[in-house]
């Protein structure tokens, strides 16, 4: 999973299937096999809208 953006203390990352996952910074710091996303979506605008409403 590759981090593509940080926004308001959240990390937006993309997997090989182009799905976006949103993590808190603390969750992201746990490492690849130990983190769980807050939300997942298909595009960056949907990710930003979720973070803004959080």
For 13-50, the pLDDT digits (tens) are 999 999 999 999 999 999 998 999 999 999 999 999 99
Q: Identify which of 36, 35, 5, 39 has the alpha carbon closest to the alpha carbon of residue 22.
A: 39
Predicted structure pTM score: 0.92
């Amino acid at each position: 999973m590759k981090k593509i953006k940080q926004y308001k203390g959240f990390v937006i990352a993309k997997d090989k299937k182009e799905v976006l996952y949103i993590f808190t910074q603390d969750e992201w710091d746990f490492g690849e096999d130990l983190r769980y996303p807050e939300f997942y979506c298909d595009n960056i605008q949907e990710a930003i809208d979720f973070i803004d409403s959080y």
